[in-house]
């Protein structure tokens, strides 16, 4: 495992972060469910593999992910850097964002709302503080000064230690950083979805991390077998364009062309996809969803791969063919 500083917070985190979205279950993950004992074992194994960084959010399973983690972390909270989020709620305040599992999720960046989010997360997670807090989805509805002002108050109170933002643009980061220390961003990024690479120069100047979610596109980039699965109507993977034609066929071609590279490095497809990501920026935080020990073990092998520039460029050319699949239709 490799470690790095979480921005300028003074907090040392493993470069791989334990993503707890899937632990929330619900329709978004085809009705999967987990108990605290199972998750506790999973966390213990992750810690033994060197992972000390956990990411969750109130809306993951409408509180379920946080509640399970709260129980699973009893007696070992101090082993982990615990990160949750604010600004999405199902209390009915703010602007409607989406409906999930029978709840209307709202986006609210007002001071009162983000404080309420943090206080409710602390209760569900059974902890007195969050090591890191992510503003879940940036909004133009509320002045940055109001949102960040409240976060800085909670930082002074010891309820949070570091601040990140997500689903944002470089100008958003600069606006938050102007109000107070902002330690990084959490953004979608993968071999197929690399648009946010324009963030790197801004973050480099601030020594801030780029925490990647979606590096495997909910598993679609981890194993070609996933492309044969049939997901439920509410399952997040069913909405991905990559599982539909003409992208699916081109993606299978890409997998076939990458078999030799996997053999060269003795690694899985998932390792290869994430090794490419690690080459893109010095302060990458690799947020990966974990529900099985095998996935944790495999992910940690990514640090054994010294992906060459030539192979990385070849992978990018293959991915471009997948992205351009619609244009290639006759």
User: In terms of C-beta distances under 8 Å and separation of at least 24 residues, what long-range contacts does 172-178 make, across chains too?
Assistant: 172/138, 172/144, 173/199, 173/202, 173/203, 173/206, 173/208, 174/202, 175/144, 176/135, 176/144, 176/148, 177/206, 177/208
SS3 110: coil
State yes or no: is 98 an active-site residue: no
The answer to whether residues 164 and 182 touch, using CB atoms and an 8 Å cutoff, is yes
Closest CA to 223 of 198, 258, 199, 265: 258
**Active-site option among 3, 45, 53, 60:** 60
Rounded alpha-carbon distances, angstroms, from residue 180 to 111, 206, 294: 15, 12, 40
The answer to whether residues 139 and 107 touch, using CB atoms and an 8 Å cutoff, is yes
What residues act catalytically?
A: 60
């Amino acid at each position: 495992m490799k470690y790095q500083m979480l921005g300028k917070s003074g907090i040392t985190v493993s470069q791989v972060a334990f993503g707890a979205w899937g632990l929330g279950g619900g329709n978004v993950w085809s009705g999967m469910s987990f108990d605290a004992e199972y998750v506790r074992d999973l966390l213990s194994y992750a810690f033994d593999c060197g992972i000390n960084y956990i990411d969750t959010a109130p809306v993951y399973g409408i509180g379920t992910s946080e509640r399970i983690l709260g129980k699973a972390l009893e007696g070992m909270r101090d082993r982990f850097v615990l990160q949750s989020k604010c600004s999405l709620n199902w209390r009915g305040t703010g602007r409607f964002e989406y409906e999930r599992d029978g709840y209307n999720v709202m986006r609210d960046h007002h001071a009162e709302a983000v404080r309420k989010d943090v206080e409710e997360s602390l209760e569900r997670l059974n902890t007195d503080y969050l090591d890191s807090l992510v503003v879940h989805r940036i909004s133009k509805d509320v002045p940055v000064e109001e949102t960040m002002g409240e976060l800085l108050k909670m930082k002074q109170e010891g309820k949070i230690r570091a601040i990140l933002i997500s689903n944002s643009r470089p100008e958003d980061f600069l606006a938050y950083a102007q109000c107070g220390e902002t330690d990084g961003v959490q953004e979608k990024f993968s071999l197929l979805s690399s648009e946010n690479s324009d963030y790197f120069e801004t973050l480099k100047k601030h020594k801030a991390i780029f925490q990647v979610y979606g590096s495997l596109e909910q598993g679609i980039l981890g194993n070609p077998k996933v492309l044969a699965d049939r997901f439920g109507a509410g399952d997040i993977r069913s909405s991905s364009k990559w599982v539909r034609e003409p992208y699916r066929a081109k993606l299978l071609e890409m997998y076939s062309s990458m078999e030799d590279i996997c053999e060269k490095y003795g690694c899985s497809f998932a390792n290869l996809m994430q090794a490419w990501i690690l080459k893109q920026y010095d302060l990458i935080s690799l947020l990966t969803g974990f529900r099985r020990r095998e996935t944790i073990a495999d992910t940690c092998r990514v640090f054994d791969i010294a992906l060459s520039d030539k192979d990385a460029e070849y992978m990018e050319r293959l991915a471009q063919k997948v992205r351009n699949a619609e244009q290639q239709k006759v």
